[in-house]
Amino acid sequence: MELNIRKLTESDYDLVSQWWVDWGWTPIEKEILPDNGTGGIMVEQNGNPIIAGFMYWTNSKIVILDYIVSNKKSNSITRQNALQLLIVAVEDMVEAAECKYLFSFSQHKGLIKTHKKLGWDISKNNIFKMFKTLKK
């Protein structure tokens, strides 16, 4: 099983949006995503997209990894391996950019378990995302 990583492209947005729908979630609007939906990476197996994640680069030493989503139709073991590769690749990119902190937010038990397996500190407190649209 060969997994490869690539940058997200404009054409990936429709696919990733469909993945959110497949999982029963509302797609994230392009304008909310970094670089209008291209600020992240995709993991593929033999050219077939498996999982994507978005990186918010700040003007500090913090990078936020968010909105990770996968192809629900792919094999669960492949998804798990692709998730681990995605997280490690983001860690490597952040470290190469000389950033020091990497944050990720999720309530998904599988994502939390994988982050923990990869040595991330997991908050023991309930954490909530607060969100407000200021102009429509």
CATH architecture observed for domain 3-117: 3-Layer(aba) Sandwich (3.40)
Question: Could you give the C-alpha distances from 51 to 28, 96, 98, 100, 126, in angstroms and in order?
Answer: 15, 22, 25, 24, 26
What are the 10-residue block averages of pLDDT along the chain, 136 residues in total? 93 98 96 96 96 96 94 95 95 94 81 80 74 72
Task: Supply the pLDDT for residue 17.
Answer: 98
* Residue spans per domain, the chain: 3-117
- Tell me which residue has tokens 């649209």: 133
Task: Supply the pLDDT for residue 1.
Answer: 64
Query: Which two structure tokens, joined as six digits, stand for 56?
Result: 């918010």
Q: Which of 19, 127, 21 is nearest to 68 (CA)?
A: 19
Count of beta carbons in the 10 Å neighbourhood of residue 117: 11
